[in-house]
Amino acid sequence: MIIAVDGPTASGKGTIARALAARFGLPHLDTGLLYRAVGRQVALAGGDADSPADALAATAFADSLLADPELRSEATGGLASRVSVHPGVRAALYQRQRAFATQPGGAVLDGRDIGTVIAPEAEVKLFITASLPARAERRYLEMRASGRAADRATIAAELAARDARDRERAEAPFVAAADAVELDTSALAREAAIAAAIALVERIMRPR
Ligand code: C5P
């Protein structure tokens, strides 16, 4: 079974994808981390995230970079969003994601284009949403908890800019698959969001 979990930043898609993987005994890939690694690698190499050539060169990042805590910062999220508009970057990361999705037994992948591009054949497609204020508040609390300086208005503006860039890009724009089931987590605490996602998967997989 392939479970595709798409959604914007801080919608809860990562938490939900990890929980679904644990619940259904499937391996999980956070595909945003791959784009974040490319963004970070561009910065480390002194390149320009908006340059297709610099961004493409950065797709050869060392796997050890995936453990860099800086990958989780909003600055790296912004770089990831800038490198992810380049078709060459998306093509370079495609095989790795596709191979993960099609491994025997299935997998859970979360990202922006899993249900539309990476695994359009997925049996389960969830589209996780949450309002901008709810997502900014979550990110604010997360940053404060990890001891980083944070300001709600700045975070909301950064998230909105990243959403717009992801939705408006020409290649694999961020959009719900026509057959995706939407789950709005704005008013749901972590455990309630996980329970709702598990219930949706069980409903979709129930034999008719
Ligand atoms: O999900 P996360 O915030 O880690 O993703 C970082 C950025 O990577 C996104 O804003 C998006 O531009 C890009 N991305 C993508 N396709 C994916 C996953 C992430 O374009 N499947």
Domains of the chain, by residue range, sit at 2-203
- Could you tell me if the CB of 158 is within 6 A of ligand 1? no
Our answer on whether the CB atom of 97 is closer than 6 Å to any ligand 1 atom is no
Tens digits of residue pLDDT in 129-165: 999 999 999 999 988 998 888 899 999 999 999 999 9
pLDDT (tens digit per residue) in 64-118: 999 999 998 889 999 999 999 999 999 999 999 999 999 999 999 999 999 999 9
Point out the ligand 1 atom lying closest to the alpha carbon of residue 6.
Answer: 21
- Residue 203 neighbours by CB under 8 Å, 6+ apart: none
| Ligand 1 nearest atom to the CA of residue 8, by list position | 1
What's the distance, CA 122 to chain centroid? 16
CATH no. for 2-203: 3.40.50.300
Question: Would the CA dihedral through 88, 90, 94, 95 be positive or negative?
Answer: positive
Measured by CA distance, the residue closest to atom 13 of ligand 1 is 81
Question: Which helix (H) or strand (E) covers residue 2, if one does?
Answer: strand 2-6
Distance, in Å, from the CA atom of 52 to the CA atom of 44, rounded to the nearest integer, reads 16
Query: pTM (2 decimals)?
Result: 0.95
